[in-house]
Amino acid sequence: MYKELKELGWRHLYTGKASEILIKEDKVIKFYSKDVKIYDCEPLVDLKHLPEVPNLIAYETNQYAMMEYIEGCPMNKCSSGELERMIPLILSYFDKCCEAGWIPNKLSLHHFIWNHKKGLRVIDFTRYLKINNMSKQLKEMIIKREKESILNQINQEIERRVTFKYA
Q: Enumerate domains of the chain plus CATH numbers.
A: 2-68 (3.30.200.20), 73-166 (1.10.510.10)
The DSSP annotation for 39-100 comes to --HHHHHHTTTSTTSPPEEEEETTTEEEEE---SEEGGGS-HHHHHHHHHHHHHHHHHHHHT
Contact 104, 148 (CB under 8 A): no
pLDDT of residue 14: 86
Question: What is the DSSP pairing of strand 11-15 with strand 19-24?
Answer: antiparallel
Position with higher pLDDT, 133 vs 36: 133
- 27-75: per-residue pLDDT in tens? 998 888 776 655 578 899 999 999 999 999 998 887 888 999 999 999 9
pLDDT of residue 127: 85
- 106-125: per-residue pLDDT in tens? 888 989 999 989 999 999 88
β-bridge mates for residue 74, sequence order: 113
Non-local CB neighbours of 92 within 8 Å, separated by 6+ positions: none
- Summary mean pLDDT of the chain: 88
Non-local CB neighbours of 15 within 8 Å, separated by 6+ positions: 21
Cα distance between residue 60 and residue 42, in whole Å: 10
pTM of the model: 0.85
pLDDT of residue 63: 82
2: helix, strand or coil: helix
